[in-house]
């Protein structure tokens, strides 16, 4: 192990690179990685295509028969790598697609995650947005299909929604290119300028919150907690989410020497 | 008026009711919750397959088909139809 204690930010960067390669994603130099999540049929791929144009390539997620599309675009002289995640309703129900989406948001170190929502059925779509916001604070909510919503005479109060959720909200109609400039701008602000957000967190019953509080001090010591929200880790443990615990174990193993067992306080995952 | 929970599978096409309780366990429960079916959600039965299974429901502006075996584990308010 060559890492010095004072070398943490570099180590984190390195960690990010290694993890991305694990997902079959290679970045070149100063490239920002942006994940694109959303329910099925919300126009996620339309957003993806509208942003990346022909600069994309498709394949599979390593070891999984699930399509993986990546594309690049340049905005204000910065290069962004957009990763189209499989469409899911949730990140908790263990289909292969959901595991890929979850693992990438947790361990793939995206510099921002765009959650695409269907403006015509926000109520159902917000479930996924809240779940992603529990994992990461680097979330941008893209409310797509606003042209459809207009046709259905739905009006959405985006200012109030943004206040309520605590993350940037961008209304788009990707089909006509509407709002894409604003979306790129929001991504830039988050990924490049590192603007912080305060995503609304779900408050659970008193019993659950108490249990989380018991676990938190231990989880916060883990290096993993700098990448994944420790409260979310606590919830998965309480959920006895075996598949996720196994995933942590697997990632810890690939990272062991590099980050999970970094010299600081001798913290180490023992699950 | 007392609330009498009856299985969702008894809801006939065109009828509408409110979810009271979910007896579904494990991963299917998670899935059903993710689809927006939680206590208090209003469901409308919009049609049955020729053999009576699966059954299509309108949930939060989205049509979802459930096996009647799974729908029988979701309880609705019989009075609210």
Give per-residue pLDDT as tens, B26-60.
Answer: 778 888 888 889 999 999 999 998 888 899 999 98
Q: Is the pLDDT of residue A207 over 50?
A: yes
**A90: chain B residues, CB-CB within 8 Å:** 30-31, 34
Same domain, A135 and A37: yes
Is residue A43 included in any domain, yes or no? Answer: yes
Q: Where does B1-81 show beta strands of DSSP type E?
A: 5-7, 16-22, 42-48, 55-59, 62-66, 74-77
Same domain, A157 and A234: no
List chain B domain ranges: 5-80
* Mean per-residue pLDDT of chain B: 87
Instruction: Determine the distance in angstroms separating the CA of B55 from the nearest CA of chain A, rounded to an integer.
Output: 20
pLDDT 10s digits, A59-108? 667 666 677 888 889 999 999 999 999 888 888 867 888 888 888 888 88
Q: What is the mean pLDDT of residues B65-69?
A: 91
Q: Is the pLDDT of residue A49 over 50?
A: yes
Q: Is the pLDDT of residue A260 over 50?
A: no
pLDDT band at A1 (very low <50, low <70, confident <90, very high): very low
pLDDT the model gives residue A263: 36
Same domain, A142 and A97: yes
Instruction: Determine the distance in angstroms separating the CA of B28 from the nearest CA of chain A, rounded to an integer.
Output: 8
Residue A37: cis peptide before it, omega within 30 degrees of 0: no
- Interface membership of B43 toward A (CB under 8 Å): no
Q: Do A127 and B34 touch (CB under 8 A)?
A: yes
**A121: chain B residues, CB-CB within 8 Å:** 60-62
Instruction: Determine the distance in angstroms separating the CA of A87 from the nearest CA of chain B, rounded to an integer.
Output: 13
Q: What is the pTM of this model?
A: 0.80
Q: What is the mean pLDDT of residues A28-55?
A: 87
* Mean per-residue pLDDT of chain A: 81
Q: Tell me the two tokens of residue A67.
A: 């399509």
pLDDT the model gives residue A167: 95
pLDDT the model gives residue A256: 55
Contact indicator for A128, A37 with CB cutoff of 8 Å: yes
Domains held by chain A: number: 2
pLDDT band at A182 (very low <50, low <70, confident <90, very high): very high
Q: Do B27 and A93 touch (CB under 8 A)?
A: yes
Task: Quote the CATH superfamily of domain B5-80.
Answer: Ferrous iron transport protein A (FeoA) (2.30.30.90)
User: Rounded CA gap, B2 and A270, in Å?
Assistant: 51
User: Rounded CA gap, A212 and A208, in Å?
Assistant: 6
**B59: chain A residues, CB-CB within 8 Å:** 124
pLDDT 10s digits, A208-252? 999 999 998 888 887 777 777 888 888 888 888 787 888 877 777
**A94: chain B residues, CB-CB within 8 Å:** 27
Q: Which domain holds residue A158?
A: 5-191
Is residue A200 included in any domain, yes or no? Answer: no
Q: Is the pLDDT of residue A261 over 50?
A: no
């Amino acid at each position: 192990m060559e890492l010095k204690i004072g070398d943490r930010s570099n180590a984190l960067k390195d960690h990010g690179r290694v993890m991305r390669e694990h997902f079959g994603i290679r970045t070149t130099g100063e490239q920002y990685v942006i994940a694109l999540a959303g329910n099925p049929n919300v126009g996620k791929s339309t957003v993806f295509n509208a942003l990346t144009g022909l600069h994309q390539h498709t394949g599979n997620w390593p070891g999984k028969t699930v399509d993986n599309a990546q594309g690049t675009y340049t905005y204000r002289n910065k290069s962004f790598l957009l990763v189209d995640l499989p469409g899911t309703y949730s990140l908790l129900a263990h289909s292969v697609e959901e595991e890929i989406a979850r693992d990438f948001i947790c361990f793939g170190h995206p510099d921002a995650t765009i959650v695409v929502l269907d403006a015509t059925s926000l109520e159902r779509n917000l479930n996924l947005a809240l779940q992603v916001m529990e994992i990461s604070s680097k979330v941008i909510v893209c409310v797509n299909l606003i042209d459809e919503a207009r046709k259905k005479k739905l009006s959405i109060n985006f200012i109030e929604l943004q206040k309520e959720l605590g993350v940037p909200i961008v209304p788009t109609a990707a089909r006509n290119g509407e709002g894409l400039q604003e979306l790129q701008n929001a991504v830039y602000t988050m990924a490049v300028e590192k603007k912080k957000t305060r995503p609304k967190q779900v408050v659970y019953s008193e019993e659950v919150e108490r249990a989380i509080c018991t676990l938190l001090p231990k989880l916060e010591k883990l290096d993993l907690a700098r990448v994944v929200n420790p409260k979310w880790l606590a919830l998965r443990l309480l959920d006895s989410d075996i598949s996720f615990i196994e995933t942590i174990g697997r990632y810890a193993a690939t990272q062991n020497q590099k980050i999970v067992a970094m010299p600081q306080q001798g913290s180490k995952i023992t699950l | 008026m007392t609330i009498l929970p009856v299985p969702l599978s008894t809801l006939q096409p065109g009828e509408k009711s409110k979810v009271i309780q979910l007896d579904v366990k494990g991963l299917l429960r998670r899935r059903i919750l993710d689809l927006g079916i939680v206590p208090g959600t209003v469901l409308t039965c919009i049609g049955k397959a020729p053999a009576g299974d699966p059954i299509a429901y309108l949930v939060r502006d989205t049509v979802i088909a459930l096996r009647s075996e799974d729908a029988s584990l979701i309880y609705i308010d019989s009075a609210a139809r």
